[in-house]
Amino acid sequence: MNANVDEKILAKATKWLEGAYDEDTKKRVKYLINNDTKELTESFYRDLEFGTGGLRGIMGVGTNRMNVYTVGMATQGLANYLSKTFADEEIRVAVSHDCRNHSREFAERVADIFASNGFKVFLFDSLRPTPELSFAIRELKCHSGVMVTASHNPKEYNGYKAYWSDGSQVVAPHDKNIIEEVGKITDITQIRTGANSANITILDEKFDEKYLNMIKTLSLSPEAVAAHSDMKIVYTPIHGCGYRLVPQALRKFGFTNISTVAEQMVIDGNFPTVESPNPEERTTMRMAIEQGIREGAEIVMATDPDSDRIGIAVPDGNGNYVLLNGNQTCVLLTYYICRRWNDLGRLDGHQFVVKTIVTSEMVAEVAHSFGVKIFDCLTGFKYIAGIIRREEPRGEKYIGGGEESFGYLAQDFVRDKDGVSACALAAEAAAWAKQNGTTLYELIKELYVKYGFYKEALVSIVRKGQEGQEEIRRMMKEWRTTPPRVIAGSSVSMIKDYLSGESCDLTTGKVTPIDTEKSNVLQFITADKTIVSVRPSGTEPKIKYYFGVREPLEAVDKFDEINAELDNKIERIKKDLKLS
């Protein structure tokens, strides 16, 4: 046995040799104890916890890995909390999964545990998009739900998102209470399994039709689609859940000329055609863009493995395709929805949109110009859902919102970002733009002239494992202890610390409270309105730096010149913060 192993970690690992674990798991643990101290430490140094995305981790043996045992203990803890919270009700839950390795196995494990706890369970017959799981919870009047997915993480990861009765991911106090209940599960023999299989109802394509019909109600320009139904669209699901439903949603809207990337329509949790299944990265969109070039597509779209994120590439008129970032997609869809609601006479002053604090301020400018209210929230769609939940009883209507990380949601029948409906709306916006003699790429430039040229960038620094977590904590502490005073030649005039819940105006010294839940986020705002946000990722081993800069754009023909100026400014910011 390796003498260099921490005693607490060794004790946790040894428990897995003595408990009711399967033989393959025991063999793997024994191997790690004797041969791989580093991997043993990473596998057992902590228990997986619910973060902003629920439960997520690398697949493998151990308390800090995704496997049937950690999934089982988390699910039993969730089941215990549901039983306490809804003690006098027949508890109903929905379960779905994505394309990842072991996802079906984990989903069936979750469904079995819920059924064995006496719950009524709705389990999809195969992989489905995350937003459809959210829709199912609301449609079937469930108390909770679980989506087995690691979203756009690398292939080694899996996880699950736990949802509450309104179809949004769990938030405080439920998340902390669930963790407390999970902590009470000290042995896998406490997990209830193998009972009440009759409690499980299988959902199939008939339920898909309900979801797709609701998406169809989002259509705002059917006449534009009818006029340009043969507009060439290229789509890829990147081996994931969108392979069936996104093309169906596009067809329901009326589009007929849909081309898919054949190699990436194959369901595969190893994602063999991409380095990372993340549509935020141009390399991930490469095959779709190349097909778009060959076929002359007017819009190229992708969804991530669980189809909650959307990536969009559009032709620039010079034979190239520009990959829109999440802020641009959010701006375009928000503008399109507000504009069409206005044209159709639907706006009455009671509509609102939501964006996260690290998403472009241009979204707010667009909303204000139409008299639509705008709310900011912490990063994560569960916070957008929270504002919807808060405002609905006041008679306010959510019409759209999103975040810079390629997530958008129109309307409120889903309470998580929805790549399926976003694809349909983006295609319709492209048809509407065409009907008006322009393109999405030209439209975004026209909006920069109207509202100001807002440009954003992101730097993510990866720090893996236990040592990485500690380093990220040190970095955040240093930013709080010695914050920057000047960024890209402009004095920092305000510091917002979402962990302390305070905003400090450095010009007056005035400190005011921030009206959000506390979170480990810092924002530095300069005199020229440059915004730098710093936060550790809640789902990945990263610390993220978000930059937002702005300059006026007098005319479209000045786009390249101002774009270069903003790029240079972002590079100055990186240099000032020692990130380049």
Supply the residues annotated as catalytic: 151
Strand intervals (E) in 404-541: 407-410, 453-462, 486-487, 490-497, 502-505, 511-513, 522-526, 531-536
Q: 490-497 and 511-513 as β-strands: parallel, antiparallel, unpaired?
A: unpaired
Q: Cβ contacts of residue 530 below 8 Å, gap of 6+? A: 487, 488, 490, 547, 548, 549, 550, 569, 573
- Are 299 and 278 within 8 A, CB to CB? no
Residue with tokens 């043969």: 230
- Are 386 and 416 within 8 A, CB to CB? no
Rounded to whole angstroms, the Cα distance separating 24 from 440 reads 53
Residue 437 exposure: Cα atoms within 13 Å on the Cβ side: 0
Q: Which two tokens stand for residue 576?
A: 């000032």
Q: Which two tokens stand for residue 60?
A: 């493998």
- Are 485 and 576 within 8 A, CB to CB? no
Q: Cβ contacts of residue 155 below 8 Å, gap of 6+? A: 100, 101, 269, 270, 271, 277
Rounded to whole angstroms, the Cα distance separating 151 from 304 reads 7
Q: Which two tokens stand for residue 91?
A: 């508890």
Rounded to whole angstroms, the Cα distance separating 53 from 536 reads 13
**How long is the chain?**
580
Rounded to whole angstroms, the Cα distance separating 18 from 580 reads 49
> DSSP letter string over 500-526?
TTEEEETTT--EEE--S---S-EEEEE
Alpha-carbon 358 to chain mean position: 13
- Are 490 and 529 within 8 A, CB to CB? no
To the nearest 10 degrees (0 to 180), the angle between helices 326-343 and 419-435 is 60
Rounded to whole angstroms, the Cα distance separating 9 from 63 reads 10
Q: Identify the helix (H) or strand (E) that includes residue 252.
A: helix 242-253
55: three-class secondary structure by DSSP: strand
Q: Which two tokens stand for residue 246?
A: 């996104």
CA-wise closest residue to 245 among 280, 215, 281: 215
334: three-class secondary structure by DSSP: helix
Q: Which two tokens stand for residue 369?
A: 């110009």
Between the alpha carbon of residue 314 and those of residues 321, 335, 431, 556, the distances in Å are 5, 17, 12, 17
Q: In what order do the strands lie in the sheet with 351-356?
A: 373-377, 351-356, 397-403, 407-410
Rounded to whole angstroms, the Cα distance separating 410 from 415 reads 10
